[in-house]
Amino acid sequence: MTEKTDFSQLFRAGIQATRPYSPGRPIDEVKRELGLDSVVKLASNENPEGPLPAVLEAINKAALGINRYPDAAAYNLTESLAQHLDVTPDSLIFGNGSNEVIDMLIRGLVKPGENVVYSHHSFIVYAIATRVHFECGRPVNLDKNDKHDLQAMADAVDENTKLIIVCNPNNPTGTYNTYGEFLAFIKRIPKNVIVAVDEAYYEFTTADDYPQILSMVKEYPNLVVLRTFSKIHSLAGLRVGYGVGHPSLIGELHKTREPFNVNMLSQAAAIACIENWHEVEGRRQRNRDQMDWLCNQLAELGFEIVPSQTNFILVRCDGDAGKLTQDLLQKGIIVRPMHAFGLGEGALRISVGLPEENQACVQALKEILS
């Protein structure tokens, strides 16, 4: 009889206890599995609008050079973004998605026994990355309005806290903390605790009192802002995100960065996005229009809507959102039940799609609910 091979015991306890990240299901997989010709994916907060023609052109051009390694320092991309954001190049670091920058912060800053404060019902990668890294997560509950409870987060900070991650606006709730709330919070945080504000959905925000965190970095050098080209810029498949912070913090993070972490095509595509930043306004507006339409329709169907500043909506139904997700899947609509985020059995997250995709989703819900 052969002995059962099991290497899991070789890994740290936190890794053994972690479940791998579970993404929204890919369109082709669902088509194959259910034999469907048409599938609508509203599950991963992607931009349903494809890449800009200028981005495709830049990728084609860059592709001619892929026999070489990319520029490890991402010089052109750094210069271009620094100019666009009006920051110095040494305040910028790029990652294979902003996900990688989150990881660099946790791995670089936290020693065994130290901790990272974040919210329970926030981007699931914070929980995964901290569990894997010495189980250093110290999650705090959201407030009763599904917003970060910034006071509770500040209260959770102790002498072993190295990092706080605030996702603003928050995934998966779509809620945001205002400038006033954030200012009161940051004033309470010791200067030697790094505060990372994950603004993956920044470009979708329209609220007047949404805080402009980037302009606060000069006064609060312990702030680092994380953004991405995956969302409004439509580059999710290429993986490029960035951090903006004090050069001394960014300089240390660069030491933890893998060489060539942002590939050549991603660098070229991101530069093309920056050169075409004027496209962002239209994208934001179209998202907002569709968001309003979708919210109205879902409310009419009896869902409770959490107001959102992003490109997705957290909704709650009386029943089992897992079952509803499965019923929608049978009709070719992929959405995300939220039990993995601990938001309860009735919670569901729906990303805003193109008008025809949103209509298909509402139509499918009407059929299921009738």
Ligand X SMILES: Cc1ncc(COP(=O)(O)O)c(C=O)c1O
Stretch that binds ligand X, among 48-56, 97-105, 246-254, 324-332 (CB under 6 A): 97-105
Closer residue to ligand X, CB minimum distance, 44 or 276:
44
Residue nearest to ligand X (CB): 97
List 123, 134, 185, 303, residue binding ligand X (CB under 6 A)? 123
> Using the rule CB under 6 A, is 103 a contact of ligand X?
no
> Using the rule CB under 6 A, is 228 a contact of ligand X?
yes
Stretch that binds ligand X, among 59-67, 95-103, 185-193, 270-278 (CB under 6 A): 95-103
List 91, 175, 222, 230, residue binding ligand X (CB under 6 A)? 230
Binding mask 303-322 for ligand X (x = CB under 6 A): --------------------
> Using the rule CB under 6 A, is 261 a contact of ligand X?
no
- Minimum distance from residue 319 beta carbon to ligand X (Å): 26
3-state SS record for the chain: CCCCCCCHHHCCHHHHCCCCCCCCCCHHHHHHHHCCCCCEECCCCCCCCCCCHHHHHHHHHHHCCCCCCCCCCCHHHHHHHHHHHCCCHHHEEEECCHHHHHHHHHHHHCCCCCEEEEECCCCHHHHHHHHHCCCCEEEECECCCCCECHHHHHHHCCCCEEEEEEECCCCCCCCCCCHHHHHHHHHHCCCCCEEEEECCCHHHCCCCCCCCHHHHCCCCCCEEEEEECCCCCCCCCCCCEEEECCHHHHHHHHHHCCCCCCCHHHHHHHHHHHHCCCHHHHHHHHHHHHHHHHHHHHHHCCCEEECCCCCEEEEECCCCHHHHHHHHHHCCEECEECHHHCCCCCEEEEECCCHHHHHHHHHHHHHHHC
List 200, 270, 295, 360, residue binding ligand X (CB under 6 A)? 200
Closer residue to ligand X, CB minimum distance, 200 or 360:
200
List 241, 243, 337, 346, residue binding ligand X (CB under 6 A)? 241
> Using the rule CB under 6 A, is 198 a contact of ligand X?
yes
Stretch that binds ligand X, among 83-91, 96-104, 216-224, 343-351 (CB under 6 A): 96-104
Q: Token pair 């302009």 is at which residue?
A: 215
* Listed residue (239, 176, 175) closest to 213, CA to CA: 176
Closer residue to ligand X, CB minimum distance, 236 or 354:
236
- Minimum distance from residue 272 beta carbon to ligand X (Å): 17
List 47, 91, 98, 177, residue binding ligand X (CB under 6 A)? 98
Closer residue to ligand X, CB minimum distance, 200 or 225:
200
Number of residues that bind ligand X (CB under 6 A): 13
Q: Token pair 């306890």 is at which residue?
A: 13
* Listed residue (126, 114, 101) closest to 256, CA to CA: 101
- Minimum distance from residue 148 beta carbon to ligand X (Å): 12
- Minimum distance from residue 1 beta carbon to ligand X (Å): 45
Binding residues for ligand X restricted to 138-197, rule: CB under 6 A: 167, 171
Residues of this chain that interact with ligand X (CB under 6 A) are: 45, 97-99, 123, 167, 171, 198, 200, 228, 230, 236, 241
